[in-house]
Amino acid sequence: MCGRMAVTVPIDAMAHVFDAAPSNDLPQTPDYNVCPTTQVAVVSGGADRARRLEPMRWGLIPHWYTKPNDGPLLINARAETVLEKPAFKSAVHDRRVLVVASGFYEWTKDSEGGRDPWYITREDGAPLAFAGLWQAWTDPKTGETWHTVAILTTAANDAMQEIHHRMPVIVEQKDCGLWLGEAGKGAARLMRAAPEDALRWHRVDRAVNSNRASGPELIEPFDPES
């Protein structure tokens, strides 16, 4: 799965990398502990519209929810079943975006059940582009409309299996147009695990286990023996 991430790329650099015009209300960077229900930067686009870098709430809210917590918190969507789930099956055809991050966190357990966090990035140091699905949700009480997003996940590749059995679907730069719907059909073939050598990871301090933690030290390598 993907339940926490870090974004250290400046907004202008993010816009340049993905050739997207930035909106004025993007979440500030750097943020070393991006949690569900907060705003994340996504790249939207399509065959008939220019790319935009815009904010969306992480945690897709289906249109039939009467309030944000009317059901499960949908921060992830499984690639294997996304076409079957009512919350996602229309979005996967018509509402695909890229969720931009520098890295993400996963956890393993030690012999006593303690949660050890790992920070995972691209091997080449480039920003990550997670395959995302979005949904507009309108609050029936206030009339306010939110744009909300979930990150697609798939079975982890063999290398990643030592950390977690799931991983986010990562879209390569050359495939961004296909995922966004700019380059015709065939986006389904992108819903797969990244190559074995695409990612690297290191242990980080358990401080990140708290969703209130912040600061660059959260992504620094940690040696439990030191």
Q: What are 176-200's pLDDT values in tens digits?
A: 999 999 988 899 999 999 999 999 9
Alpha-carbon span 5 to 15, nearest angstrom: 19
Dihedral sign from CA coordinates of 162, 168, 171, 173: negative
pLDDT above 90 (res 33): yes
At 224, is the pLDDT very low, low, confident or very high (cuts 50, 70, 90)?
A: confident
Where is 178: in which H helix or E strand? helix 176-180
At 2, is the pLDDT very low, low, confident or very high (cuts 50, 70, 90)?
A: confident
Structure tokens, 186: 């065939």
- Burial category of 93 from C-beta neighbours within 10 Å (exposed 0-12, middle 13-18, buried 19 and up): middle
Residues whose CB falls within 8 Å of the CB of residue 114, separated by 6 or more in sequence, listed in order:
206
Encoded amino acid at 191, one letter = M
**What does the pLDDT average to over 116-141?**
97
pLDDT above 80 (res 97): yes
pTM to 2 decimal places:
0.97
Residues whose CB falls within 8 Å of the CB of residue 8, separated by 6 or more in sequence, listed in order:
29, 30, 31, 32, 102, 216, 219
What pLDDT, on a 0 to 100 scale, did the predictor assign at position 195? 95
Encoded amino acid at 101, one letter = A
**Residues forming a β-bridge with 209:** none
Encoded amino acid at 36, one letter = P
pLDDT above 90 (res 112): no
Residue 177 DSSP label: H
At 225, is the pLDDT very low, low, confident or very high (cuts 50, 70, 90)?
A: confident
pLDDT above 80 (res 220): yes
Structure tokens, 187: 């986006």
What pLDDT, on a 0 to 100 scale, did the predictor assign at position 158? 96
CATH number of the domain at 5-219, out of 3.90.10.10, 3.90.1680.10, 3.30.930.10, 2.60.40.1180? Answer: 3.90.1680.10
What pLDDT, on a 0 to 100 scale, did the predictor assign at position 223? 86
